Structure 1
Amino acid sequence: MGISACLITKNEEDALTRSLAMISPYFDEIVVVDGMSEDKTVEVATRFGAVVIQREFSGSFAIERNCGIERVHNDWVFILDPDETLGPEFLSMLRDLTSSKGYDAYSFLRYDVLPDGTVLETPCGHPEIHVRLAKKDRLRYYGAIHEKAVVDGKIKFIPEVIYHHRGYFEDYPQEKKERFDAIGRDASSDLQGLNISSRALFVRNVKLVFHYFRNMLVGMKLYRRGPSGIIRAIRYTYSFASYGLKQYIRLGQI
């Protein structure tokens, strides 16, 4: 079962070199959607045999993600950012997951790594869970900024970790925050990547809250800790729901 890796880039030559050296032995195809980089990003991608799609930034990260997914040739796609790292065991596991016929997508944990090497397991007050591996025709993204995976099918949570290496400490740099806020604020409905009604989006988000609680309680095995584990699962789920709601409202995605 073939798997394609899909990344979006903009002036990422150093990070992309590390990323492609790490993942290239494990994927049948690599697709890079590049936002007209001015450094050697495209040269690096080409050197590793990646398919490069160069285009001006559309104003929506969801659109860029969807562009890459629509370009891949294999049945399965894995979504990765250049500043994320995965261990060999994680990468080797992916092909086994695609051979299972019971699921259409898989989600994983993502931990932030600060410049000093500190690993943040709950950077937003709760563990982050991201869909990254999915059947190509079942996965698309929604949201001009902080885009979210939308899966038409069954998702299985795998409690393995993707490490996101921040170039900054705990808070967003002000310039980056303002740039991201501007993208969300200025994005029209046609820049959200998918045509989803407010009602459908609300229903989806409610379902996500219940799925998140199950993933914490069962997937992360917090139930084994007894009442304290159940309380922690509830706290994490409350943080997940409140953080997500604030983010959607702030970015105009609800």
Structure 2
Amino acid sequence: MADKGIIKISACVIVCNEEENLPCWLESMSSLADEMVVVDTGSLDATIEIATAAGARVEKFPWIDDFAAAKNYALEKCQGQWILMLDADEYIRLQDCAGVRAAIQRYDKDKNVIGFVSPLINVDKGRNNAYISTIHQIRVFRNLPQLRYVGAIHEILRYSGQGQKNMPLVDDYAIYHTGYSRHLMPEKYKRNLQMLEVSVKKYGKRLIDDFYFADCYYGLQQYEQAIQHAKAYLDAAERVRGEENRPYGVLLQSMIFLDYPLPEILDWVKRALREFPYGSEFKIMEGYAREYAGDETGAIRCYEEAEQLYARGKEQGRGTLQSDEAGSAMPEMRERLKKLQQRLGVKQEIKREDNDWLVSRQIMDKILAAIQKAKNGQKVLLCENIPAFREAVGKKFPGISLTIWTEDKQENFLRGKLEKSNQTYDYIYAGCLLEKTDAPEVFLTGIRKMLADSGKAWFLLGDIHNVANWFSCSGYEQLLVEEDFHDHYCFITASRLDETGVFLRSRYTESVRWELVRLLRRIENGIDSRENINRLWALCAREGIDFEYLQTFMQHSLIYYERVLQLLAVSLEEAQ
């Protein structure tokens, strides 16, 4: 085992007939831990002999259909200051072991940090460790009596002590898990389903149990039951940390297998992408659904967009979504895409025709309907020099003052040459200009400057997943994603001021509001969430911001308001 240092680490595991997996666990943990504790729950194979020979201390605990009880017993037998609680089918690669020690040493003196969230990579042992997916889990934490597991199955590590504690996301190491290997899953789904039913009878049903039921039924190919439980889970506020997107995947795949109507599947895809904008796997599933429905052109577009989403997610981070369910699906998707392109004679280069960026008839009708209440003398700015649009506005509203920006005018604006006059407009249609600028803050400042207090502005965007990032540096109080009218577009409505906006502005200074929206947007996008939640509570305490104001501000400023509200509620619950 590892040489003893200032910080003592205990590795513990619960086992039953794990003679196949345990040697790998023991090899991994012996290079890291100062002691290894193996709690056996009734093995009939050579598990105990293997553990003893490797220098582990073997304890026995009678199996009572309760994973949390067995794991908590193991924790009580540990003497180290930090715990490594990996399952028997999990391991840390030898080259990553130094990263575990490094993370512990970095945070050991910070008593507010009581554990780490780290990547857990699922691989298929039966297929030469082929990649399946990446989620995030807690496997390394302090040895505290207030940290114990709850739940007979899919147990959760819960802190019952005083004060708010943190478990930051670290990437110093990754944990590899072979338990989802394809040949193991049928029996595991049956076992898990039985234990879930026992757990519900014993402890009562938790909100997250619907997700676990859905996962089991999906694995057992009982798709209607999977759909029922997945919808129940997704309609609730609670989310399973580390694999938040999987319930949508279970639902969509089940609907596809049962030949649900395409519009219903597409509605759930849109909902999934609103909650997890970098979820490229949802675009892949939409492609499958379109392909099965005969829309091969639409399937090609979805597969191309999934490729872009996946690349951007890897480059920029996946926002609130930490797990990766798309990686293992990409090879098959690319093969499907290649075959469709060959069959339809479509070029492989990702390309948009020039007219994709023109305002569609639906968008034009939307704008016309929105400004139909315009009074004589009100001013409208159109940043699209399209004759059909210009003529329609002019004929329908002859009394308004209409300004059309030519391409030259648009280019000057995008380069930061803002209007020097004090001209303001009651309605501004900015079209696709936001997608063309490298300085979104300058662009949005300019639009806000030209928008009347009671005015409306509209933006047409090609990629909904970037909306939150683009608007994180704006000063708009209201941001509403209404709907996407074209597969490439989404439509944003922004208001400069309304009654709620006046109320929000009246309470605190602009600098306080900007700091508030900055923290909320960072939390919304999954950027150092715990740290920024702590800063948010500190700001509220310092400035006297009450929760009612905060909630109203969030509703008026965020796209994913419910998601942020849930994170704040969890933070308050942990602090109690």
> Which of residues 117, 134, 137 in structure 2 aligns to 1:130?
137
Larger Rg: 1 or 2? Answer: 2
Contact 1:60–1:191, Cα closer than 8 Å, also in 2 = no
Structure 1 residues 133 and 209, CA, compared in 2 at 3 Å: closer, same or farther? closer
State the AA in 1 paired with 2:194.
A
Partner residue in 2 for 1:248 = none
Distance 1:13 1:170 in 2: 17
Which TM-score applies when normalising by structure 2? 0.34
Unaligned runs of 5+ in 2: 1-6, 208-236, 246-275, 278-308, 326-561, 564-576
- What are the Cα deviations for residues 188-213 of structure 1, in whole angstroms up to 9, with x where unaligned? 67669xxxx98xxxxxx859769x89
User: How far 1:145 sits from its partner (Å)?
Assistant: 1.0
Contact 1:104–1:135, Cα closer than 8 Å, also in 2 = yes
Partner residue in 1 for 2:174 = 161
Q: What aligned pairs does 1:55-204 form with structure 2 within 5 A after superposition?
A: 55-99=61-105, 100=107, 101-102=109-110, 103-114=113-124, 115-116=126-127, 117-121=129-133, 127-137=134-144, 138-151=146-159, 153-159=165-171, 160-166=173-179, 168-169=181-182, 172-173=185-186, 175-187=187-199
State the AA in 2 paired with 1:80.
L
User: How far 1:63 sits from its partner (Å)?
Assistant: 1.1
Structure 1 residues 73 and 165, CA, compared in 2 at 3 Å: closer, same or farther? same
Distance 2:81 2:104 in 1: 9
User: How far 1:36 sits from its partner (Å)?
Assistant: 1.2
Alignment root-mean-square deviation, CA: 3.7
Structure 1 residues 236 and 76, CA, compared in 2 at 3 Å: closer, same or farther? closer
- What are the Cα deviations for residues 1-23 of structure 1, in whole angstroms up to 9, with x where unaligned? 10000111111112112221232
Higher relative strand content: 1
Distance 1:74 1:158 in 2: 21
Structure 1 residues 113 and 132, CA, compared in 2 at 3 Å: closer, same or farther? same
- What are the Cα deviations for residues 84-142 of structure 1, in whole angstroms up to 9, with x where unaligned? 22122322222232232222101111111112121123xxxxx4111111111153112
Distance 1:37 1:182 in 2: 20
**Which one is further off, 36-45 or 153-162?**
153-162
User: How far 1:143 sits from its partner (Å)?
Assistant: 1.5
Contact 1:3–1:95, Cα closer than 8 Å, also in 2 = no
Larger RCO: 1 or 2 (CA < 8 Å, sep 6+): 1
Distance 1:75 1:108 in 2: 19
- What are the Cα deviations for residues 211-244 of structure 1, in whole angstroms up to 9, with x where unaligned? x89xx99xxxx9x958x957x435668x9x99xx
Higher relative helix content: 2
Structure 1 residues 135 and 86, CA, compared in 2 at 3 Å: closer, same or farther? same
Distance 1:80 1:136 in 2: 14
Contact 1:85–1:162, Cα closer than 8 Å, also in 2 = yes
Unaligned runs of 5+ in 1: 122-126, 199-204, 243-254
Secondary structure, aligned partner of 2:153? coil
Contact 2:17–2:44, Cα closer than 8 Å, also in 1 = yes
State the AA in 1 paired with 2:123.
V
Structure 1 residues 208 and 35, CA, compared in 2 at 3 Å: closer, same or farther? closer
Partner residue in 2 for 1:245 = none
Structure 1 residues 177 and 207, CA, compared in 2 at 3 Å: closer, same or farther? closer
Which TM-score applies when normalising by structure 1? 0.72
Structure 1 residues 105 and 167, CA, compared in 2 at 3 Å: closer, same or farther? closer
Secondary structure, aligned partner of 1:52? strand
Secondary structure, aligned partner of 2:84? strand
Is 1:36 the equivalent of 2:42? yes
Structure 1 residues 166 and 186, CA, compared in 2 at 3 Å: closer, same or farther? closer
